[in-house]
């Protein structure tokens, strides 16, 4: 068996059996040592007593006729126990010769240790492990009867050696044998105890520890082996019950963990769904708001108000591509009137890059040196924070750019980029629809050949001017303009030349009118001008100035026409002088126009009452070829 202390059995063995064995051995050794000391002391005492006894006995008188000290010899021979215990008993002379001995053959011989025994000194006794040696002097007053001068000198010495009693040696040997027996028995007991502990304690504990180790590694299905009903068996049963409970708890934990995972997944789905619902709600609001109007200005105002409010964006602006191809600021949040109308070249700054590349441009930190291209085209106030520019693209055509800015660096999340891109797509669709609507309205209100309002727009505007004049009591005049000999021009030069002539006449007329005046194509080669708050006399002057400007315009030279130049005839009518209603006012201007034609064309005629009833007679004021002075209501 190994000497290690890595098991409980070995620990118990070495902590119980070994101390017991050592205690037994120490006890036996102690008793063996005490027995040796007691035997030696007893032998010493016995030798001293025997020496005293022999010394006293030698002093007894000897009966007559017997050898000296015959009594001592008889006494020693009669007491066999005393004789056996005496290893050596001699009476020595002062010179070391043996005078008397229990062995008669040694008498008169010199003692082998005569030199040591005759050395001067007091009597002594010496003991060792197996015998005691005593040297005692003789020669006191008791010896005077036989030895003269004994009182003054030593007559002899008693030399006695007493061997250790056999019983003492046997006891010592028995104790030594007992010590060996205890050692052997202790060794056998240790082996037996160790074997017993190994089978009944160490192995069961090792199996239980192995089961616990597997359980510690996560194998909760392992079970400890249970044999019998001792404490270890009960411990194993309790461990098995604990494992069963842990297994149940582990199963419950797994179920709970799975339920938690499902719950977390559902919560994440719920949160994601709520975010998507919020995004969809925003997109719905944006779609509903932008689709509720087709007026571009109103549409841009609604987008500017809705997006920053719902997305918590402090700075927002909308840019549209204008007719020159530049990005023009149309709307801002908060409102910055000084920024509206500001333009950027495509490719200039973040907004220009977004329009040029037709993709999102995100600048997390405007102050970052790597974002220098973005700072070149920043709007005023956008010199810090994060800037996001999303182009509005419709059918691969850039309509404009939505600009978002937050003062915090890197403050736009990827989810926001997707949402804002979707908002930009919806805004692009709405802006495109508004542009198409504006273009359609323009087409319905504008003459496609000349670019001036058509007859429909003309009467709508005339209706407003008439209503204003009737309300405030101000005059409103209209001029009916007709190109002279226009059919002859078409027949001689072709309809393309006729169309070009119409556009040039419109350009000359438009260049010499106020912004508040209205020029419209009435039909064919006829045009009508609505002059707001202009009297009849001033309207005549304006008409005459326009007639002369057309006649003198170098671009209107026409070799096929009479006089080699384009000329016009103009009729003038004013409300409320000539008429009180819109329709009759137009009829009056038309009648005046025909009067100009009857007067020889290239003339201006003001309406006069009854002119429409006598188309062959000129009753109104007509001044053909008579230039008039400049009017304050016409442009030079």
Which of the residues are catalytic? 525
- List the one residue out of 85, 89, 83, 87 whose CA is nearest residue 58: 89
- List the one residue out of 181, 198, 246, 249 whose CA is nearest residue 21: 181
Radius of gyration of the chain (CA): 74
Q: Is the distance from CB of 175 to CB of 31 less than 8 angstroms?
A: yes
- List the one residue out of 407, 391, 409 whose CA is nearest residue 399: 391
- Structure tokens that stand for 250 in this block: 């582990």
Q: Is the distance from CB of 534 to CB of 542 less than 8 angstroms?
A: yes
Sheet order of strands, 156-163 included: 98-101, 86-92, 156-163, 131-138, 124-127
Q: CA–CA separation, 77 vs 504, rounded Å? A: 187
Work out the number of other CB atoms within 10 angstroms of the CB of residue 210: 13
Q: Is the distance from CB of 521 to CB of 455 less than 8 angstroms?
A: yes
- 19 burial type by CB count under 10 A (0-12 exposed, 13-18 middle, 19+ buried): exposed
Place of tokens 């997707």: 418
Q: Is the distance from CB of 140 to CB of 156 less than 8 angstroms?
A: no
Count helices and strands in the chain by DSSP H and E runs: 17, 16
Q: Going along 444-599, which residue ranges are E strands?
A: 476-483, 518-523, 526-532, 568-575
Q: CA–CA separation, 18 vs 4, rounded Å? A: 14
Q: Going along 43-130, which residue ranges are E strands?
A: 86-92, 98-101, 124-127
Q: CA–CA separation, 336 vs 331, rounded Å? A: 8
**CA distances, 244 to each of 65, 214, 220, 283, 296 (Å):** 112, 14, 8, 57, 76
- List the one residue out of 97, 105, 90 whose CA is nearest residue 135: 90
Q: Which residue(s) pair with 406 in the sheet?
A: 386
Q: CA–CA separation, 381 vs 366, rounded Å? A: 11
Q: CA–CA separation, 265 vs 271, rounded Å? A: 10
**H-type alpha helices, 362-494:** 372-376, 414-445, 455-472, 486-493
Q: CA–CA separation, 71 vs 77, rounded Å? A: 10
**CA distances, 316 to each of 87, 375, 495 (Å):** 135, 16, 52
Residue 208 is inside which H or E element, if any?
helix 203-216
218 torsion bin: left (phi>0), alpha (psi -120 to 50), beta (else): left
Q: CA–CA separation, 524 vs 484, rounded Å? A: 12
């Amino acid at each position: 068996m190994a000497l290690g202390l890595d098991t409980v059995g070995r620990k118990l063995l070495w902590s119980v059996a070994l101390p017991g064995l050592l205690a037994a051995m120490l006890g036996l050794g102690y008793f063996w040592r005490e027995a040796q000391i007691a035997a030696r002391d007893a032998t010493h005492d016995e030798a001293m007593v025997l020496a005293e006894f022999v010394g006293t006995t030698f002093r007894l008188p000897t009966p007559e006729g017997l050898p000296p000290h015959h009594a001592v010899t008889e006494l020693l021979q009669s007491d066999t126990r005393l004789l056996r215990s005496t290893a050596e008993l001699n009476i020595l002379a002062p010179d070391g010769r043996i005078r008397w001995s229990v062995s008669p053959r040694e008498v008169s011989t010199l003692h082998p240790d005569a030199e040591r025994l005759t050395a001067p000194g007091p009597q002594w006794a010496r003991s060792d492990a197996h015998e005691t040696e005593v040297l005692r002097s003789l020669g006191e007053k008791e010896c005077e009867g036989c030895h003269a001068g004994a009182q003054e000198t030593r007559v002899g010495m008693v030399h006695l050696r007493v061997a250790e009693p056999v019983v003492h040696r046997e006891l010592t040997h028995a104790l030594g044998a007992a010590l060996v027996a205890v050692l052997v028995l202790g060794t056998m007991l240790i082996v037996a105890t160790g074997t017993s502990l190994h089978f009944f304690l160490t192995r069961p504990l090792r199996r239980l520890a192995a089961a616990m180790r597997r359980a510690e590694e996560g194998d909760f299905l392992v079970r400890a082996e249970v044999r019998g009903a001792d404490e270890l068996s009960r411990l194993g049963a309790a461990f098995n019950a604990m494992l069963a409970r842990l297994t149940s708890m582990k199963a419950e934990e797994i179920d709970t963990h799975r339920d938690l995972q499902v719950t977390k997944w559902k919560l994440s789905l719920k949160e994601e769904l709520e975010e998507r619902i919020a995004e969809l709600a925003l997109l719905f609001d944006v779609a509903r708001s932008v689709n509720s109007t087709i007026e571009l200005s109103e549409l841009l105002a609604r987008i500017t108000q809705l997006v920053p409010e719902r997305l918590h964006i402090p700075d927002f602006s909308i840019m549209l591509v204008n007719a020159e191809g530049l990005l023009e600021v149309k709307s801002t949040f908060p409102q910055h009137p000084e920024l509206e109308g500001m333009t950027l070249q495509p490719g200039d700054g973040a907004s220009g890059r977004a329009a040029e590349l037709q993709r999102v441009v995100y600048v997390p930190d405007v102050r970052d040196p790597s974002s220098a291209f973005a700072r070149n085209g920043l709007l005023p106030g956008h010199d810090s924070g994060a800037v996001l520019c999303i182009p509005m693209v419709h059918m691969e055509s850039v309509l404009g750019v939505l600009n978002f800015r937050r003062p915090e660096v890197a403050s736009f999340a990827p989810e926001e980029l997707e949402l804002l891109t979707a908002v930009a797509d919806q805004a692009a669709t709405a802006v495109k629809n508004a542009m198409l609507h504006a273009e359609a309205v323009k087409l319905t209100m504008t003459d496609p050949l000349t670019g001036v309002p058509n007859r429909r727009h003309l009467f709508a505007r005339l209706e407003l001017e008439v209503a204003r004049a009737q309300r405030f009591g101000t005059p409103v005049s209209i001029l009916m303009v007709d190109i002279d000999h226009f059919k002859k021009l078409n027949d001689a030069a072709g309809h393309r030349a006729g169309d070009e002539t119409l556009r040039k006449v419109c350009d000359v007329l438009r260049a010499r009118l106020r912004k508040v005046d209205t020029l419209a194509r009435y039909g064919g080669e006829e045009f009508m001008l609505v002059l707001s708050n202009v009297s009849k006399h001033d309207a005549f002057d304006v008409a005459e100035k326009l007639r002369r400007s057309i006649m003198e315009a170098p671009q209107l030279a026409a070799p096929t026409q009479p006089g080699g130049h384009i000329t016009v005839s103009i009729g003038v009518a004013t409300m409320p002088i000539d008429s009180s209603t819109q329709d009759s006012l137009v009829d009056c201007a038309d009648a005046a126009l025909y009067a100009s034609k009857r007067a020889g064309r290239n003339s201006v005629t003001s309406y006069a009452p009854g002119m429409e009833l006598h188309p062959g007679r000129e009753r109104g004021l007509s001044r053909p070829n008579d230039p008039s002075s400049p009017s304050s209501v016409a442009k030079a």
